[in-house]
Amino acid sequence: MSAFNLFQRLSQAPTKPKAAPAARQFDVADLYQGPIALGGDGEAQARPFDEKLRQAYFWIVNHAIISPHYDIEYNDGPSQTYAVGDSRRTLNLPSAQSYSSFILLPLLTFATRRKCLFVGGPGRGKTASALLMGVLAGSTVKEVKRAMQHGHPQMTVADLLGNPLPADLVNAQSMDDIRIAWRAWLGMRVKIVDEYNRIPTRTQSALLTVMGDNYAEVLNHIYECPEAAWYLTANDDQGGGTYQVIEALRDRVDVTVQALAFNPRFLSELLLRVEENVRPEELVPPEIIFTEAEVDQIGASIRQVAVPDAVRRRLEFFASQFELFETAGGQFEYMTKDTARLSGADRGAAQAADNGRDRLKDLGCQTLNGISVRTLMALLIYAKAMAYFRGTSEVALEDLRQVLPFVLHNKLQPDPDAPFFALPENAAYRSDRLGWLRRLFDLSNDEFNRLDLDRDDPVGVLSAEFDLGLDGVSERETLARLNRIEKLIGERTKGRKLYGPLYDDLLKLKYLHQRYTNYRSWLRSQ
């Protein structure tokens, strides 16, 4: 009989108990369920993969990474809160199962094969966390460590991707004759790039191709990489690295998590590791190792998680807030922050000309940019993954709210000159970007509620009507719909200031108008 495994124990209880189903099935085998683990009797039950994912999460938080920061809070009823310190910051005791973002987001990245950036000071478990993800994918600790790319200022493209074989370089008559010794890490299912902001800019570009397009190229030879989860680490992602990270590379990162400080109250855990001479990454229980097929299946299941219309509308409304920059464009479609950025014009002067709106209320005034398509897709994937992880079949608004700050962390740039940050109660949001993004989403939802868009959304009604299709719609009906669109535009623009959501509504109405106009022309030609 083996000795106790202090670090390899998995919870026998379901990690996310659900309400008992109406039809009960009592199992006489329960008689022998208890604290004593029986020898294998060939009756091992296949666990659903979401449960396996939760087992992996709880094993990591309980035995591997000491991260007692439950910053992803869920409540299923009233929660106890305390106002603490001079600043009266809220300490919340969540009433439902809550999670540590530093473990959960990387795990969701593993399940969805996306790209995760760890930021935080040295020695806080960034690399260890990435290493664990590699082990979860079935590699040994040694394999993961050897495949890990360590960013350094002299790193060349050949260091990163591979070398041409020296003999071929001398003897080859054409490029096709040169064989490439590809680096082993390109074939890994979990790719780790440590301190990616220390990689020279040219090598970053080669890395961008691998990250963005999933292939590597050396001397016209292509290496197709398998689908993989990516983990990058950076001690300082705000420019403190040796090289400036190229924006396109930064944009490929789907989610950013911060390694929080170690709580000395948990020193006993470290002491135990010292005394037992154990490294948790070497003791990952085999029950939580995922095969490639399992991760494929998890990915497929996550994509099947539904996003209800009500949640999608909230996200649409939120994303609408940020792109509008009224003074940047002469043409309606070009009144965006991206237009201003591309022109290189003085942003301050353009902002000064933009007056009359409530700059405190307009959430768009708080940011320097809008939300890209890639970011929105990442948001949806992570919200689905969060719902899947929690064992539900559709995304709740809270799922979206919890993942949103981590996805937008590197994407939505705050404007430090915005009046919002000048308010004393908002001063902390200058440095706490996650808190600011969560606050931003809450403010957007408050405005959504104030406008009663859940129940009164005429643009949504027109859009749903159009989505039913144009087959069989008469010319008379088409004209009626065109009139309704024009009338709605008239109502919405009468005496109103232009805010982001209104801007997007107007562009949507213009789109619908154009589609009906084209359809009417076609009808008349028949």
Interface with other proteins (CB under 8 A) = 1, 3-4, 6, 19-20, 22, 24, 26-39, 41, 272, 275-276
148 and 185 Cβ atoms separated by less than 8 Å: yes
CB of 100 to other proteins, least distance (A): 23
Q: Considering beta carbons, is residue 34 or 495 the nearer one to other proteins?
A: 34
Q: Considering beta carbons, is residue 64 or 485 the nearer one to other proteins?
A: 64
CB of 34 to other proteins, least distance (A): 3
| 226-239 exposure pattern, b = at least 16 Cβ within 10 A, e = fewer | eebbbbbbbbebee
| Helical packing angle, 49-59 and 292-304, nearest 10° | 110
- Per DSSP, the residues of 34-63 read SSSPPPP-S-PPPPPHHHHHHHHHHHIIII
Q: Considering beta carbons, is residue 247 or 275 the nearer one to other proteins?
A: 275
Q: Give the CA-trace dihedral at 234, 236, 237, 243, to 10 degrees.
A: -80
Q: Which residues contact 103 (CB under 8 A, 6 or more apart)?
A: 57, 60, 61, 65, 67, 129
CB of 272 to other proteins, least distance (A): 6
Helix (H) or strand (E) holding 342: helix 337-343
CB of 395 to other proteins, least distance (A): 24
Q: Give dist(CA 139, CA 188) in Å, integer.
A: 9
CB of 5 to other proteins, least distance (A): 10
Of the CA atoms within 13 Å of residue 58, those in its CB half-sphere come to: 18
CB of 61 to other proteins, least distance (A): 18
Q: Considering beta carbons, is residue 31 or 293 the nearer one to other proteins?
A: 31
CB of 59 to other proteins, least distance (A): 15
CA distances from 28 to 20, 31, 32, 45, 100 (A): 17, 6, 8, 15, 37
Q: Considering beta carbons, is residue 17 or 240 the nearer one to other proteins?
A: 17
489 and 503 Cβ atoms separated by less than 8 Å: no
CB of 31 to other proteins, least distance (A): 5
Q: Give phi and psi for 508, each to the nearest 5.
A: -65, -40
CB of 474 to other proteins, least distance (A): 48
Of the CA atoms within 13 Å of residue 485, those in its CB half-sphere come to: 23
Residue 480: count other Cβ atoms within 10 Å of its Cβ.
13
Q: Give dist(CA 517, CA 504) in Å, integer.
A: 20
Q: Considering beta carbons, is residue 35 or 472 the nearer one to other proteins?
A: 35
CB of 396 to other proteins, least distance (A): 20
Report the DSSP beta bridge partners of residue 215: 224
Q: Where are the extended beta strands (E) located within 143-226?
A: 149-150, 162-164, 180-182, 190-194, 215-218, 221-224
| 489-501 exposure pattern, b = at least 16 Cβ within 10 A, e = fewer | beeeeeeeebbbb
CB of 36 to other proteins, least distance (A): 4
The label of the residue with tokens 């237009």 reads 339
CB of 41 to other proteins, least distance (A): 8
Q: Considering beta carbons, is residue 19 or 468 the nearer one to other proteins?
A: 19
* Residue 123 Ramachandran class (φ > 0 left, ψ -120 to 50 alpha, else beta): left
Q: Considering beta carbons, is residue 40 or 469 the nearer one to other proteins?
A: 40
Q: Considering beta carbons, is residue 10 or 428 the nearer one to other proteins?
A: 10
By DSSP bridging, strand 115-119 and strand 255-258 are parallel
Q: Considering beta carbons, is residue 68 or 226 the nearer one to other proteins?
A: 68
CB of 3 to other proteins, least distance (A): 6
Q: Considering beta carbons, is residue 23 or 170 the nearer one to other proteins?
A: 23
Q: Considering beta carbons, is residue 272 or 427 the nearer one to other proteins?
A: 272
**Amino acid letter, 272:** L
Q: Considering beta carbons, is residue 17 or 344 the nearer one to other proteins?
A: 17
301 CB-contact burial (10 Å; exposed 0-12 / middle 13-18 / buried 19+) = middle
Q: Which of 342, 354, 338 is nearest to 413 (CA)?
A: 338
3-state secondary structure of 216: strand
